[in-house]
Structure 1
């Protein structure tokens, strides 16, 4: 008998656009178990797990607030189906994420309507350290080259799906 294949963790990703059509990216402070960050590829958009009983849309708003302090954002759209990636090989100590083979992400686009001074990366989920140490606005089409290789296909799809929002203004 073969063991059942590990499933994917339910997750959301957030593309937050400013009035100039650039998207917020932040630099990861380090690995999170099997979510390995390669040197030179520390940048990503906010993302996080969906809690039991929580809708994906609510998770996207919660994760955006937890990771960046941002609450002033209006929804623009979402990718119709989940985008999936596998973790790279992981040989570290047991970790809360290692029971899954990767993540199945629902991607949402939002327009930032607040002041940049309200962006605060010191926020984190209770009991967790902040994930990021700095942020910037970046051109969406450049993101696949800035992220870890195992997420590039997801970021390429997000860039294609959300390209229309790079041409909109506040």
Structure 2
């Protein structure tokens, strides 16, 4: 069992987060395949040792949504951190991390919906949709809502 004191000593997992918007400025979100939930999330994934955050973001897009038909519009200079809820520390990521530090990228999707394939080798999502940015915060799992508020605020001038 991981205590709050032990959790605070764990590192953050380096992660790339991707906000992918379509021509209507709606955001790609998916429901995770590994849990039954009403929550949606944007693609994200770990940054491998020695990998650059943008390279990780593009790799993760291919792994999670089956396409890299995007153009980079903006990226955040800062890392955004979040802590897992206490009941998840020790269970997620083999108990190695207390949460994630994320580098976020905003991409414009250049393809057609038919170019998106979530049935990839590393499938993350059971289903997906395009969501208006104003819905993102209410659609995400509660412990990530502050991060999503920050991301929407910082990226909205680029929509």
Shared fold (TM-score, shorter chain, > 0.5): yes
Residue deviations 1:98-147, cap 9 Å, x none? 2100000000000001121010001133xxxx211111111112101101
1:5-154 matches, within 5 Å, as 5-31=9-35, 39-41=37-39, 43-90=40-87, 96-125=93-122, 130-154=123-147
The answer as to whether partners of 2:27 and 2:130 remain within 8 angstroms in 1 is: yes
Unaligned runs of 5+ in 1: 32-36
Q: Is the counterpart of residue 160 in structure 1 residue 153 in structure 2?
A: yes
Output the CA distance in 2 between the equivalents of 1:89 and 1:6. Answer: 12
Unaligned runs of 5+ in 2: none
Give TM-score scaled by structure 2 length.
0.89
The answer as to whether partners of 1:16 and 1:111 remain within 8 angstroms in 2 is: yes
Shift of 1:92: 8.7
How many pairs does the alignment contain?
154
Shift of 1:6: 0.5
Regions of 4+ moved over 2 Å? 90-97
Would you tell me which structure has more helix in proportion to its own residues?
2
Q: Please report the RMSD computed on the Cα atoms of aligned residues, expressed in angstroms.
A: 2.0
